[in-house]
Amino acid sequence: MNKHVIVRTAAAASAIALLTSLAACGDNIPAGTAATANADGLSGNFAGAGASSQQSATEAWIAGFTASNTKAKISYNPSGSGAGVTTFLTGATAWAASDKALSDSEVEQSKDVCASGTAFDVPVYIAPIAVVFNLNGVSDAGKHVNMDAATIAKIFDGKITKWNDPSIQEQNPDITLPDTAITVVHRSDKSGTTQNFVEYLKAAAPDDWTYDLSENWPNEVGQGAKGTSGVISTISQADGTIGYADFSQVGELGTVSVKVGDEYVDISTQAASNAIADSTIDENVTGDNRVVVDVNHTTTADNAYPIVMVSYDIVCPVYQDSATTEFARDWLTYVVSTAGQSVASSATGSAPLPNNIVDRINESIAAMG
Amino acid sequence: MAGHGTIPAKEGSMTHPTSHDSSGSAPASLMADAPVIDFDKFKPTRSHLAARQRKDTFMRWLILLAFVVACIPLISLLWTTIVNGVRRLNWDFLSHNMTYVVGGEATGTGGYGGILHAIIGTLEITLGSMVISIPVGIMCSVYLVEYANRSRLSRTVRLLVDVMSGIPSIVAGLFAFSMFSILVGPGTINGFEGSVALSLLMIPTVVKTTEEMLKIVPNDLREASYALGVTKQRTISKIVLRTALPGIVSGAILAIARVIGETAPLLMTAGYIVSTNMNLFSGEMTTLPVYVYQEYSKLRANCPADASASCVTTIPMERAWAAALVLILIVLILNLIGRIVARIFAVKTER
């Protein structure tokens, strides 16, 4: 019996040792070039948490960032904007990602976490929000449907219930719209996508969209679905559905071309970037170094797509730990750089930050540490 | 059923003790004097037999149908997972983590990222929860069965274990998260925290199954042991637990299978990271269920217009399926190991 125990213990120990040696790395080799000259760079564990919309982009940034800082281990927990900011304000994470700018009270709370000054947010990720639909004979033929803001607002408020409603048909003289009922699909969970979408409706069609701004869907029209993935799969499954989702997730579904000025603009990353370039930076926010974009939903600029979500990274100017300060500065520098923005754009279909905004962000980064 | 016809004749010969006639002494006359019972009266009629036969056949089919209905979801689930999961399940997928995986592009080795970090996380966290919950669970049930079988305390403990087995997993996650927030620091996330959350879910299962196993150990064994002057402690550890070991092992495996697929508590306590973390006590750790969930939420990877031909937009879902298949396989392997261990330790009854 004793001999057996010894043999078994030895077997278990060697199994664990084998597993450990096997598992020592497992890191992939980056697809492009090998690690660059700056192979040492930062080291340590750094954690971020926040918006799930930024997950793919942040994973791409982590890949790009660790390629030049091979000793740094960075984790990102896509727990949601609210959870991300809360965690950040406890001091557990180095940065937070959020679909909306900090509130005044959050800026005030950040004094406890940051070694000096208050936390600030900078836009890092611009995602066009597509109005997606699934309509037999239209979306599967690859056609866009033209709509102005008032029409979209009426559809999502349940005032327009048929696809061949005259107000839709007269904007689309080239398409024969079927007599199918419209099923609205919206997010059932709290979401920055919802917030930005209704912001657009409220700004561009104030007469037809009277609800208050919120991250929750405000009315009882249509059906809810959990997460972007839930919305997309619900829309894919039924004819006559319409909803809103991140552009990168649209896939084979049809997208609505939105009326801007006198023209209908198809969704594209460049068009979204144009809309942000035509927006202003909110100068009245409390707290230093903050760059909060006031998205111009009623833009009339050429080829500008006005339904855009701006997502932020939130950092402290100075941390208790100097390594974290250094990390946060390098991280933001990389993320808003041309390289960082293009890797995010190819990974997620996000729109690159326009130059006027990048200049402002670099001022804020320069004020760090 | 054909045998029924012969029964009345047999029973006829056995009716003699109840005979009224006590004058005759010879058995032969007894038989002759016995009151004539019309056994044909009890004989099932042909239609009755047919009805029973029908009922029997009907119930057979009904039970078979119920079995088939119960199997449909299982087979459908396995089939879907295998069909969808096998596409991306290869050595590259098993031996890499998710570092440097960008969008739908292939990595340097031609793969699309993998689950090595999640497999390690799942195994380590599950091992951690086993280390916590199996000793606690076994000792608790030893106390319940051997020391305090009918006391008020044991009734209370049993009730609490029942309540505990009904705790939603997310609550266990919240408990572990708040406990570590208080003890270690706000927002602490590490693998061991996940182990604590899972052990809360494992303990009731371990207690229940071990208790049942200890109860069916025959009392004769204990008494025989005591009769030889063996102490209670040695009786429990060498006789009772030894006899019940195969059952305890399979109970532990059941408990592991119960928790290894938990997502919600691990999402909160163990976190999510793309690189491999070997340290259970520091840093975030990805587990297979969380990996599946995160890949599902990504839904679709982006392939820019200038992407290479190897860019796959549906890769997150394919990775999720493959990881789900691996999770099922791990549970299967654990079950097999459990069975083998139980067989090795089974008490040889023929001796």
> Within this chain, do residues A133 and A121 fall inside the same structural domain, yes or no?
no
Instruction: Tell me the shortest Cα–Cα distance from A207 to chain B, in angstroms.
Output: 35
Out of A45, A63, A79, closest to residue B100 by CB = A63
Q: B-contacting residues of A 4-43, CB under 8 Å?
A: 19-20, 22-31
Instruction: Tell me the shortest Cα–Cα distance from A248 to chain B, in angstroms.
Output: 6
Give phi and psi for B325, each to the nearest 5: -65, -45
Q: Does the structure's ipTM exceed the value 0.90?
A: no
Cβ <8 Å between A56 and B101: no
**How far is it, in rounded angstroms, from Cα A260 to Cα A245?**
19
> Within this chain, do residues A100 and A153 fall inside the same structural domain, yes or no?
no
Q: Is residue A199 part of a domain?
A: yes
Residue predicted with more confidence, A25 or B183: B183
Cβ <8 Å between A62 and B271: no
Chain A residues touching B271 at Cβ < 8 A? 47, 75, 77
> Within this chain, do residues A121 and A136 fall inside the same structural domain, yes or no?
no
Quick count: other Cβ atoms within 10 Å of Cβ B218? 9
For the record, the structure tokens of A366 come out as 């320069």
pLDDT band at B23 (very low <50, low <70, confident <90, very high): very low
> Within this chain, do residues A144 and A186 fall inside the same structural domain, yes or no?
yes
Checking DSSP bridges between strand A183-187 and strand A241-246, what pairing results, if any? Answer: parallel
> Within this chain, do residues A25 and A47 fall inside the same structural domain, yes or no?
yes
* All residues at 6 or more sequence positions from B70 whose CB lies less than 8 Å from its CB, including other chains: none
Cβ <8 Å between B189 and A73: no
Q: Is the CB of residue B67 less than 8 Å from the CB of residue B55?
A: no
CATH of the domain at A59: 3.40.190.10
Q: Which of A225, A254, A272 is the last residue of a domain?
A: A272
Q: Is the CB of residue B339 less than 8 Å from the CB of residue A272?
A: no
| Res A4: pLDDT | 67
Give me chain A's average pLDDT, please.
86
**How far is it, in rounded angstroms, from Cα B297 to Cα A232?**
11
| Res A34: pLDDT | 46
Chain B residues touching A62 at Cβ < 8 A? 99, 274
pLDDT band at A35 (very low <50, low <70, confident <90, very high): very low
Chain B residues touching A56 at Cβ < 8 A? 103, 298, 301-302
Checking DSSP bridges between strand A223-225 and strand A241-246, what pairing results, if any? Answer: unpaired
Closest B-chain CA to A35: B100
Q: How many domains does chain A have?
A: 2
Q: Is residue A4 part of a domain?
A: no
Instruction: Tell me the shortest Cα–Cα distance from B178 to chain A, in angstroms.
Output: 13
**Strand, helix or coil for residue B282:** coil
Helix ranges (DSSP H) in B230-346: 232-234, 241-260, 264-269, 288-298, 315-345
Q: Is residue A3 part of a domain?
A: no
> Within this chain, do residues A112 and A132 fall inside the same structural domain, yes or no?
no
A34: left (phi over 0), alpha (psi -120 to 50) or beta: beta
- The answer to whether residue B11 scores a pLDDT higher than 50 is no
Domain of residue A95, residue span: 9-126+280-299+309-366
Q: Is residue A168 part of a domain?
A: yes
> Within this chain, do residues A346 and A250 fall inside the same structural domain, yes or no?
no
pLDDT band at A16 (very low <50, low <70, confident <90, very high): low
pLDDT band at B320 (very low <50, low <70, confident <90, very high): very high
pLDDT digits (tens, 9 = 90+) for B188-220: 889 999 999 999 999 999 999 999 999 999 999
| Res A82: pLDDT | 84
> Within this chain, do residues A149 and A261 fall inside the same structural domain, yes or no?
yes
Helix ranges (DSSP H) in B86-235: 91-95, 116-142, 152-165, 169-183, 191-215, 219-227, 232-234
Q: A-contacting residues of B 179-218, CB under 8 Å?
A: 181, 185-189
For the record, the structure tokens of A141 come out as 């033929």
Report which of A296, A48, A254 is spatially closest to residue A144, judged by C-alpha positions.
A254
| Res A94: pLDDT | 93
> Within this chain, do residues A141 and A92 fall inside the same structural domain, yes or no?
no
> Within this chain, do residues A198 and A151 fall inside the same structural domain, yes or no?
yes
| Res A148: pLDDT | 92
Chain B residues touching A231 at Cβ < 8 A? none
| Res A32: pLDDT | 57
Q: Return the residue in A27, A28, A68 with the most chain B beta carbons within 10 A, the one to mutate for interface testing.
A: A28
| Res B123: pLDDT | 94
Q: Is residue A2 part of a domain?
A: no
- The answer to whether residue A25 scores a pLDDT higher than 70 is no
- The answer to whether residue A285 scores a pLDDT higher than 90 is no
Closest A-chain CA to B311: A347
Out of B101, B123, B187, closest to residue A87 by CB = B187
- The answer to whether residue A150 scores a pLDDT higher than 60 is yes
- Measured CA to CA in angstroms, residue A120 lies from A283, A286, A290, B163 at distances of 13, 10, 5, 46
Q: Does the CB of B260 have a partner CB in chain A at under 8 Å? A: no
> What single-letter DSSP state applies at residue A351?
B
Q: Which of A255, A272, A289 is the last residue of a domain?
A: A272
* All residues at 6 or more sequence positions from A16 whose CB lies less than 8 Å from its CB, including other chains: none
Q: Does the CB of A196 have a partner CB in chain B at under 8 Å? A: no
> Within this chain, do residues A98 and A229 fall inside the same structural domain, yes or no?
no
* All residues at 6 or more sequence positions from A138 whose CB lies less than 8 Å from its CB, including other chains: A145, A175, A177, A178, A254
Least confident of A268-272, A335-339, B297-301: B297-301
Chain B residues touching A79 at Cβ < 8 A? 267
Beta bridge pairs of residue B67: none
Q: Is residue A139 part of a domain?
A: yes
Q: A-contacting residues of B 97-136, CB under 8 Å?
A: 97-103, 105-109, 111, 113-114, 116-117, 120, 123
Q: Is residue A304 part of a domain?
A: no
> Within this chain, do residues A167 and A241 fall inside the same structural domain, yes or no?
yes
A237: left (phi over 0), alpha (psi -120 to 50) or beta: alpha
Cβ <8 Å between B299 and A229: yes
Inter-axis angle of helices B241-260 and B116-142, to 10 degrees? 140
Q: Is residue A252 part of a domain?
A: yes
The number of CA neighbours under 13 Å toward the Cβ of A267 is 28
